[in-house]
Amino acid sequence: MHLMYFTEQPMSTYPPAEGDRYGYTALLFPNKFFDPIAGSRLYNERLEEYRYVEECGWDGIMLNEHHNAPFCMQAKCNIFATAIAATTSRVKIVLLGNPLPVADNPVRLAEELAMIDLLSRGRLVPGIVRGGGVEAFASNTNPAFNRERFEEAHDLIIKTWTKPGPWRWEGNHYQFRVVNPWVIPMQKPHPRIWVPGVSSRETVVWCAEHGYPYIGLNLPTDMAKQVCTLFDDTAQQHGYQGGSAYRGALLQVRVDETEEKAMKNARQFMWMQGEFTGLTHPVWAAPSGYLGEWARRPMAELRAGYRSKQRKSGDNRSDFEARLANGTLIAGTPKQVIEKLRIRLEETRCSILALWGNDGAIDHKDSLSYIRLMGQEVLPALREIAKSLDLGDPFSIPVSRQYASAKWEIPQQERTASA
């Protein structure tokens, strides 16, 4: 089992009333509300917390990136990964991850990741993502080509790591006369690829086709189980058994010395006006062409307000209470949290668990307390539960089952003619 610490690195010092006034806290929310002094303090507090994560016995640190919103200060997860690689010696550095469709130069990205892998002495897990709709607008990329760019960039990066150069690449979205980076990763044939998502059917199937573990991002238990079934069915079609080693989850979990304090801190997960990625417009979160056909009806209902009305008419609980009930938010003392996570592991059998413990205005002192309590009291119990459930080891499975597609190969005669 792999247990890692995560925080979105939020900047909760912006004036919340301004979010209500504008009606959004993403993409077009003015950056005049960014406080550089607070930003510098928060960056350095996060680095101290990450070092403490290793000291307290966690297995890894998960990093991600988002753009144009205060809920995540990581504009480039590779920068923090480099700092962590240089200041730690044991923990895995898990990037979930680099948004490939917004990368204009995947070869440059392959070089950056290779440097981090070398600096960390092979501790990098370079996860990849499609990125959110806001990322498409922030980077001026066409959301309709998001999945195409994701898959082609992936193939180019894998080939860059595994096929000695020089060679040429002529794709639909990327063209390089010479691919021959000097720096390549320490891990062979290449670092492990993990992929996070929020249950997109296409992404789950794609992961299973490639043999990449899929990490569900804060999914309710019933939805997580559906994802596991889809992955395992697809894996079987491709000649191997899926199972727990390929399953992962990111969960918002808050532990404190008392239940009262845990619940108080857990409410910080409801900041940003109660929205996971802040207030935004549906067309920003899921622009036309970004999602597959399966999402058309749900998105139409969401934009028409039908789904929100349906939820409110059938559930009188607050959003906070509802999330505690459906398992997307877990809070309590170490003993209480262990039992809640035990149930989650029994039902989903995930071997990769990212525990999200800091958000909103949770202060540095309470973040350090969380890291210590989890490391000393919760994580050892979770490892014992994993043994009793015979959960798989994600680092024992093959690195990948499908390398770069031959469709990007340039025939020998064309390579010779263009040389």
- pLDDT tens digits in sequence order for the chain, 419 residues long: 999 999 999 988 888 888 888 888 889 999 999 999 999 999 999 999 999 999 999 999 999 999 998 889 999 999 999 999 999 999 999 999 999 999 999 999 999 999 999 999 999 999 999 988 888 888 888 989 999 999 999 999 999 999 999 999 999 999 999 999 999 999 999 999 999 999 889 999 999 999 999 999 999 999 999 999 999 999 999 999 999 999 999 999 999 999 999 999 999 998 865 566 677 877 887 787 777 766 666 656 555 654 444 444 345 567 899 899 988 999 999 999 999 999 999 999 999 999 999 998 899 999 999 999 999 999 999 999 999 999 999 999 988 765 544 454 544 444 444 44
pLDDT value of residue 283:
80
Q: How far is residue 138's CA from residue 371's CA, in Å, rounded to a whole number?
A: 33
Domain 2-418 listed as CATH 3.20.20.30: yes
Q: Are strands 2-7 and 60-63 parallel, antiparallel or unpaired?
A: parallel
Could you tell me the sign of the dihedral formed by the alpha carbons of 168, 174, 180, 185, in that order? negative
For the whole model, what pTM was predicted? Answer: 0.91
Q: How far is residue 152's CA from residue 106's CA, in Å, rounded to a whole number?
A: 9
* 155, two tokens: 């193939």
Residue the block writes with tokens 């999330």: 323
> C-alpha angle with apex 23: 328 to 11, nearest 5 degrees?
60
Contact in structure between 319 and 270 (CB atoms under 8 Å): yes
Which H helix or E strand runs over 260?
helix 259-266
Contact in structure between 31 and 18 (CB atoms under 8 Å): no
Domain boundaries, the chain: 2-418
Q: Measured in Å, how far apart are the chain's first and last C-alpha atoms?
A: 49
Neighbours of 195 (CB within 10 A): 22
Q: In angstroms, how far is CA 42 from the centroid of its own chain?
A: 20
Q: In angstroms, how far is CA 358 from the centroid of its own chain?
A: 15
